[in-house]
Structure 1
């Protein structure tokens, strides 16, 4: 059986570390053409084959509700960052594709943002990072 006190302490440390790191890197989106949620959408879409992802996959990677993701995507479509069309394999779903403008906006932030993430995570060595990745994935998979 899991030690309740240890579980709570581990959760609090994980939550506080994530929050403190996020606070330090959130400034990466100040004075840019993208908000942090828009960047997250483009991160998922630009990593997908042909820079196209199912809307449900974008939603799964976001920390906001499905209706909020849909509204965000629609705003990004109106700004010319994405295109959206029906998913030919799922009549109820949609596909979103990064436009050239969307890819440019993403790339303009990605390198600096990635650098700042690495700076914050370098308190851990590569083995520790691999362990952290595996442990957090295990937590996510358990949900």
Structure 2
């Protein structure tokens, strides 16, 4: 008898988390991270995808850090000159975050090397059809039904 749909879903989830953990460990072991930590890079990469400055709470939605941890990291990245914090002209109490030119430069430099590592790690394990299927499945899992209807 086959696994129940619930069991299959849990096994698939566990396999996804295991694959993520293995790949993250392998990526963390590369020499790419001598200028930034992976988490610092994640913050800079997320900001690089934003077409305009964003509030910290918007950044929190897209980065895998708690709000307090993200605040501390943003403060460190501001101190290093990679992020700018400016008053929100629409709301004097709020602040907006954006990449500075040095922040954009380091994100691109580290990101280019990181992309090469990702390509090697993933493409060596999956053929092009599997890569397309993985991409489609991940996009499907990442769809937030609440965001689509609001």
**So what's the TM-score if we normalise by structure 1?**
0.83
Query: Can you give the 5+ residue segments of structure 2 that lack an aligned partner in the other structure?
Result: none
Tell me the residue number matched to 2:43. 41
Tell me the residue number matched to 1:68. 69
Tell me the residue number matched to 2:131. 129
Tell me the residue number matched to 1:98. 99
Give the 3 Å change call, closer, same or farther, for CA 69–124 of structure 1 in structure 2: same
- Comparing 106-115 and 92-101, the one that deviates more: 92-101
Give the 3 Å change call, closer, same or farther, for CA 127–31 of structure 1 in structure 2: closer
Give the 3 Å change call, closer, same or farther, for CA 100–29 of structure 1 in structure 2: farther
Q: Distance in 2 between matches of 1:94 and 1:74?
A: 13
Q: 1:56: Cα distance to partner?
A: 2.3
- Alignment of structure 1 residues 1-143 onto 2, 5 Å: 3-28=5-30, 32-49=34-51, 52-91=53-92, 93-122=94-123, 123-140=125-142, 141=144
Q: Distance in 2 between matches of 1:98 and 1:47?
A: 10
Query: Can you give the 5+ residue segments of structure 1 that lack an aligned partner in the other structure?
Result: none
Q: 1:107: Cα distance to partner?
A: 2.1
Q: Distance in 1 between matches of 2:108 and 2:128?
A: 25
How large is the Cα RMSD of the aligned pairs?
2.3
**So what's the TM-score if we normalise by structure 2?**
0.80
User: Highest Rg: 1 or 2?
Assistant: 2
